[in-house]
Amino acid sequence: MTNYSIMILPGDGIGPEIMAEVRRIMAWVEDVHSVTFDVTDGLIGGCSYEAHGVPLSDEILAAAREADAIIMGCVGGPQWDGKTDYDKRPEAGLLRLRKELDLFANLRPAMCFDALADASSLKREFIAGLDILFVRELAGGVYFGEPRGIETLPGGGRVGINTQRYSDAEIIRIARVAFDMARKRGGRVHSAEKANVMESGLLWREEVSKLHASDYADVKLEHILADNCAMQLVKNPKQFDVILTDNLFGDILSDAAAMLTGSLGMLPSASLGDGGPGLYEPVHGSAPDIAGRGIANPIATILSFAMALRYSLGMGAAADQIEASVSKVLDQGFRTGDLMQAGLMQDGMQQVGTAGMGDAILAALENN
Ligand code: NAD
């Protein structure tokens, strides 16, 4: 029997509640797919700061490195908001984990479950069946480029500086991820940059084209300016399969696309490096306003676990089953409070809490 080592980092706020439902789904996968998960639990974020004085301890980082996949909840909360010491803030634990594991590829699906199509700000016909995968470069670009800072000018004024910088090697490694993903999906990549006004964009376009010609001619590649990509996402999002883009444009474009598809409580993500463990986490934060009440939507974290099965453990069939079961319970009318607020509660539907949604998904898995 195959054994996988999984690190679970529930984090703060609603993290422990939603992770409890993931653990139940993991047990189902163990039973049905003849695998075992060797789970290590750890602290990250504010809870780690309270216990160890740091948002991510060296011990947890070392254990995370050894895992096959890391499933994280969410970090942060108002009790730590006032902290001016940035490396002690809950988010610093997550940033350290991403940096130390060199997780340079951020995968964010923007999928629309049929039952939620009416909650979109776009008309149903534009959104039903939407399935885009964003491949965003996560470790470079303007968020990290040097020089950076705020400087006082000789005349007394001030200037804020950030540098957009990409090497050919950084572009090639993220483009490879996008082409590989496209081969497993619809076979199409749109590469978004601003080659018309930025040298880093021009290099991006050239390197993506070269890699495409040498290694991925079977994938359909189109270059698109990032501003046009934003317009097309709102005008006709279903034209896209995989969107490859840099750190800054990816941040903005993937958030915009995600919001076309319903609630924050539905959105999973994956961050991958070269070979080591992937980090899988919901897009949402720790939702302190509803933490501890058993009403949070666990679906984003459950779908993140499904991504771990697909991308780190090679268990695509189990991932498909979980995604199909989520779709089924939504069709059956099960709704957590966030989906209800998003206008998705109609007659005949049933409002459930975190565990109730977990029950429904497990029942759907068992009846498949
Ligand atoms: P948030 O995502 O936590 O919450 C925004 C709104 O969405 C809230 O009303 C919340 O109740 C709701 N919501 C979020 N997830 C939900 C779920 N699964 N089910 C039901 N409702 C859900 O964002 P915020 O309020 O801006 O931030 C709260 C804290 O989370 C802050 O400390 C912030 O720094 C942190 N944060 C962490 C991450 C992360 O861990 N990756 C991401 C974003 C924000």
* Model pLDDT, residue 343: 62
**pLDDT average, residue stretch 184-205:** 97
* Single-letter amino acid code for the residue at 146: E
Helix ranges (DSSP H) in the chain = 15-33, 46-52, 58-66, 90-100, 124-127, 168-184, 199-215, 226-235, 247-259, 299-311, 316-332, 337-339, 354-366
The pLDDT-based confidence of 261 (bands split at 50, 70, 90) is: confident
Nearest-atom index, ligand 1, CA of 297? 19
Centroid of ligand 1 to alpha carbon of 267 (angstroms): 12
Residues 37, 268: Cα–Cα separation, whole Å: 21
Q: Ligand 1 pocket: which residues have CB below 6 Å?
A: 14, 74-77, 91, 94, 264-265, 281, 284-290, 296-297, 300, 338
* Model pLDDT, residue 296: 97
Residues 6 or more apart in contact with residue 209 via CB below 8 angstroms: 221, 223
**Protein residue with least CA distance to atom 27, ligand 1:** 285
pTM higher than the cut 0.95: no
- 272 near 107, Cβ under 8 Å? yes
Residue (of 204, 304, 198) closest to 245 by Cα position: 204
Report the range of poorest mean pLDDT among 243-247, 258-262, 302-306.
258-262
Cis peptide before 147 (omega within 30 of 0): yes
pLDDT tens sequence across 75-90: 999 999 887 787 899 9
Is 251 an active-site residue?
Answer: yes
Residues 156, 132: Cα–Cα separation, whole Å: 48
Mean pLDDT across the chain: 94
Residues 277, 102: Cα–Cα separation, whole Å: 10
**Domains of the chain: residue spans and CATH:** 1-104+273-368 (3.40.718.10), 113-265 (3.40.718.10)
Length of the chain: 368
The pLDDT-based confidence of 66 (bands split at 50, 70, 90) is: very high
pLDDT tens sequence across 262-318: 778 899 999 999 889 999 999 999 999 999 999 999 999 999 999 999 999 999 999
Selected catalytic residue, list 88, 102, 118, 143: 143
Maximum CA pair distance of the chain?
Answer: 72
Centroid of ligand 1 to alpha carbon of 265 (angstroms): 9
* Model pLDDT, residue 342: 64
The pLDDT-based confidence of 368 (bands split at 50, 70, 90) is: confident
**Residue 359 pLDDT greater than 90, yes or no:** yes
* Model pLDDT, residue 195: 98
Is 88 an active-site residue?
Answer: no
The pLDDT-based confidence of 344 (bands split at 50, 70, 90) is: low
* Model pLDDT, residue 345: 60
Is 194 an active-site residue?
Answer: yes
pLDDT tens sequence across 90-149: 999 998 999 899 999 999 999 999 888 887 889 999 999 999 999 999 999 998 899 999
**Residue 355 pLDDT greater than 70, yes or no:** yes
The pLDDT-based confidence of 203 (bands split at 50, 70, 90) is: very high
Residues 21, 357: Cα–Cα separation, whole Å: 8
